[in-house]
Amino acid sequence: MILVTYYLRFCALMARADWLVPTLARLVFAGVLLSYFWVSGLTKLGDGLFGIFMPSAGAYAQIFPRAMEAVGYDHGQLGVLHWLVVLAGTWAEFLLSFLIVTGLLTRLAAIGMIGFVALQTLTDLFGHGAIAEPGTIGAWFDRLPDSVIADQRAFWVFVLVVLAIKGAGPISLDRLVLRNAPWARQASPRPAPAQRQAP
């Protein structure tokens, strides 16, 4: 009976620590994925000050591997649509990661990053040919937890789903900047209208 009591107290304590989950999710993202995405973004930047607007040839090769192969790796032969996609992908790696770590517009950034990871995965599977490498793809429920795609990206997306659902937590710019926004406050029930007494 004493163990049950302690267990119930522990559960009540954990229920009050709801702020901990999104805070830890952001910490895990910062510790595991921030450097990965920023270094990946840096490899896509072109030379010089305006390199943020003129992605490198490597950026095109990473995002459009088959199109680059078709034009002999001369990204100048690719169109404006290719340039826009590569530019958006490059900026997304920096911007979405920054927003998640600082906790600003966290839900939106997490949803954007989930989309980014999905596109990254599709590019790896079909553009870079990982679909033909079962060891790289891996599988769930196979007792091997280290596949690059099925296992690792499932954990990435899980952390992002937590942030999309829970928000950034109390230690965030969302809480500091947007605390007075009507949609940022928790919904509270409206008080019932006062009833008039008959004279």
Domain membership flag for residue 189: no
**Tally: H helices and E strands in the chain:** 10, 0
Is the confidence at residue 194, as pLDDT, over 70?
Answer: no
Domain membership flag for residue 111: yes
Report CA Rg, the chain: 23
Only one residue has tokens 């896509």, namely 44
- The domain total for the chain is 1
Domain membership flag for residue 10: no
Q: What are 27-57's pLDDT values in tens digits? A: 999 999 999 999 998 888 888 888 788 888 8
Domain membership flag for residue 15: no
Q: Round the average pLDDT of the chain to a whole number and report it.
A: 83
Domain membership flag for residue 97: yes
Domain membership flag for residue 22: no
Section 158-162 average pLDDT: 95
Domain membership flag for residue 133: yes
Domain membership flag for residue 184: no
User: What type of residue sits at position 132?
Assistant: A
Question: How many other β-carbons are positioned within 10 Å of the β-carbon of residue 90?
Answer: 25
Domain encompassing residue 34: 27-170
Beta strands in 2-160 (DSSP E): none
**Token pair recorded at residue 176:** 């500091």
* Alpha carbon distance 198, 138 (integer Å): 74
